[in-house]
Structure 1
């Protein structure tokens, strides 16, 4: 039977109960409705295949309830860098690290990411099978799709731990729907495979404007992060070095990091208005309490009041006698602007390499990388006499004040360095448990797929 591709996003339609099907030939094939494109046709031309992949980029940033929201705000609240000032009880569960397995936002986090993975699987399958795409376009699109799949799985595995790992297209929809959870190590192995193949397929030059589509260095940058998380410090250093040595990026002042033409941006997810999802959430009028602000302790942790990140990226406001530290990395919250959703920044590559070098006891190299980020912030370099533990502590602090409010970095950092119990246990002693480091598998998903198991602490 032919499969239709509606609005370039695959949808599986299951009607009633499947009783007995002896042959697909017994069904009358009426073709695709006028609003749909057959699977086979979606990858016949460069233009239609590009529309498929562009649709995945678009969905990744779509709306205040989309993937980007769930990958940024809720992990930020789970850590110690974002403060939630609203009254929604379900969001407050993140702030207390006391999630229920029925939490609706956890459920939509899961259900937002897996359709994106489904779309990338379909794109990879269709692009690979196509014999009519020009070689350069085929390589570019395949590299982009594999990068995006790796990016989505990276967030899933860091939020939930073991997760189902569907890699097949919609022809295997029933098989994909009942997959059990795959161990973290295997998920990471697939992420590395996808990114390595994306590196080989993608050009170094950007396609299009404003770095809204990934290139070879974007794959290297994400791969550097993945290796760091896996404690593969040799490869983390090597991948970060390839990005730094490319001479493609720079570290402009903190007031210019997030405009869409910033040379610090390695990859950003574009939007139609130039107003980012974080900007819309973080930036409010002087008299309006933001739903999400920088945690008081994080603001106070800046080592200097003259740190240019503190003066450019944080806007204190006092409302009804209480001070809130508004996050001002993005400046535009409505209307039209010149900001997209920045996903990979050059500064992170220096911090990745600094940590990887420190872990290998190359303290001089680690200092050089840390100082590059600190100099941009108007700070002096770290001491040349730091021990290895002190250098790693300095890297952690620099990541905290550099990456706050972005993509759950702080939450992930605390977990991967085994610091979550010490930091969050002290911050939330009555609600933090060691099992809080992973989100629960949504109970609704376990009901649908009985092969899924629940994370400890959430049964």
Structure 2
């Protein structure tokens, strides 16, 4: 059974897929309703702002970003179990994907739809006059950041992919795959360009952290360099964020406020997937049962994962919830606590999707320092910042190997069912085969990558399928 959110948004996904197929091009995305492909869009700052808004709206309202990025990756990894029989979710749960499935077609087209909008903004601002220099600089930087974010998720989901940097479909429709290194080089270039042209604060969005600034770009750069094993740069950019003075971890007493819109820990938020006045998230809808009944329980955290926590770990206490049906206890993700506006309003809370937060930067800097081996005390201190916030005693001494292993475990405990942290980290650290192979009989090495959608391959003779499919 598919959860209520997927039922509501199935039409959106089908439209995206049909558009992909019917245009007979790998990527053929219509311009958004609040954009045109003419100079009119860039004839004033106000009109250019609508194009930027369209890009962010496409990102935040997509099926992939609003829910499935977290849901699918948590099922693919070892955080979450699916309890019903919808084929697409069973495939993710079992790491056994069909090349004809609409699931990966939706993921593929969602990320590329946002990339199209980003490319349109970058091209339009350079081609046409009418916007002020400051707006041109800011909006180009934001579009490059968003393009880099989307490509990071694409390359870690599909591996080698077409690197589309233009809105010209006569070019993009028949691009071959670019190798992973080339994609990462473009991601890094975009982020370095972006950080040099973004503001140092959130003044551009009147203090709201749905805005992108220099330190948002630095945070993603730190993650990119960690994935590329460039530990010196990973440490440098994580340190830039940590020492910026803009962010602080939520306290142990207020750990439940980590995922609200006013959290000091948030580096980058997205707007709600429904509207600007929605105070709950798609993840809150998906993971919190509609009714206290086993009939409406679609997912549970794997018991073996839950057992990793001590009973006094505040993440176990506050970010998970136990439900008992028929004498059996099921534990669900509870980072986002509301599934409708009425309950969020009653609690006086607005929850927004948290895309990046400060604890990741502490753990990136910790791992980078531990891998370099030159500042183990600093790595231990960073680890303890996150560990002690969870209400736990600090670690007093760890050798390099134990420190690296402990940081990895802390990452797992901190970021369960949050974006694709666990799934991407399993692949980054080359532990996916060993861990998931022993857990799931249906897992194989090819499971680390989704297959390229068959519709895209049929439309583009330059595209090849991923190994094993």
With normalisation by structure 1, the TM-score equals: 0.89
Deviation at 1:198, TM superposition (A): 0.6
Question: SS of the residue aligned with 2:341?
Answer: coil
Equivalence for 1:306: 312
Equivalence for 1:258: 259
Find the partner of 2:298 among 291, 296, 302.
291
Question: SS of the residue aligned with 2:249?
Answer: coil
Q: How large is the Cα RMSD of the aligned pairs?
A: 2.2
Equivalence for 1:282: 287
Decide whether the 8 Å contact of 2:239 with 2:365 is kept in 1: yes
Deviation at 1:16, TM superposition (A): 9.6
- Give the Cα separation in 1 of the matches to 2:455 and 2:354: 32
- Within a 5 Å distance, the mapping from 1:39-188 to structure 2 comes to 39-62=38-61, 65-169=63-167, 172-188=168-184
Decide whether the 8 Å contact of 1:367 with 1:381 is kept in 2: no
Question: SS of the residue aligned with 2:182?
Answer: helix
Larger Rg: 1
User: After alignment, is 346-355 or 335-344 more displaced?
Assistant: 335-344
Decide whether the 8 Å contact of 1:367 with 1:382 is kept in 2: yes
The structure richer in helix per residue is: 2
Deviation at 1:196, TM superposition (A): 0.5
Deviation at 1:379, TM superposition (A): 0.8
Cα distance change, pair 115–231 in 1 and its aligned pair in 2 (3 A)? same
Equivalence for 2:390: 377
User: After alignment, is 34-43 or 292-301 more displaced?
Assistant: 34-43
With normalisation by structure 2, the TM-score equals: 0.87
The reply on whether 1:431 has 2:431 as its aligned counterpart is no
Question: SS of the residue aligned with 1:98?
Answer: coil
Deviation at 1:13, TM superposition (A): 11
Find the partner of 2:417 among 402, 405, 423.
405
Decide whether the 8 Å contact of 1:268 with 1:343 is kept in 2: yes
- 1:6-54, CA deviations, whole angstroms, 9 ceiling, x for partnerless residues? xxxxxx999999xxxxxxxxxxxxxx9x987452110111111111111
- Give the Cα separation in 1 of the matches to 2:20 and 2:325: 50
Question: SS of the residue aligned with 1:231?
Answer: coil
Deviation at 1:322, TM superposition (A): 3.1
- Give the Cα separation in 1 of the matches to 2:257 and 2:244: 21
- 1:328-387, CA deviations, whole angstroms, 9 ceiling, x for partnerless residues? 111111125401111011110001111111100132111000000011111111231x22
Find the partner of 1:443 among 418, 437, 454.
454
- Give the Cα separation in 2 of the matches to 1:395 and 1:13: 41
Deviation at 1:443, TM superposition (A): 1.4
- Give the Cα separation in 2 of the matches to 1:326 and 1:16: 41
Find the partner of 2:362 among 347, 350, 373.
350
Decide whether the 8 Å contact of 2:162 with 2:177 is kept in 1: yes
Decide whether the 8 Å contact of 2:20 with 2:455 is kept in 1: no
Decide whether the 8 Å contact of 1:70 with 1:105 is kept in 2: no
- 1:88-139, CA deviations, whole angstroms, 9 ceiling, x for partnerless residues? 0221111111111112211111111111111110111112234322222222
Deviation at 1:400, TM superposition (A): 0.5
How many residue pairs get aligned? The number is 428
Cα distance change, pair 422–252 in 1 and its aligned pair in 2 (3 A)? same
Deviation at 1:323, TM superposition (A): 2.1
Question: SS of the residue aligned with 1:339?
Answer: coil
Question: SS of the residue aligned with 1:201?
Answer: coil
Unaligned runs of 5+ in 1: 1-11, 18-31
Cα distance change, pair 14–182 in 1 and its aligned pair in 2 (3 A)? closer
Unaligned runs of 5+ in 2: 1-18, 25-30, 345-349
Decide whether the 8 Å contact of 2:21 with 2:455 is kept in 1: no
- Give the Cα separation in 2 of the matches to 1:58 and 1:319: 39
The reply on whether 1:396 has 2:408 as its aligned counterpart is yes
Question: SS of the residue aligned with 2:393?
Answer: coil
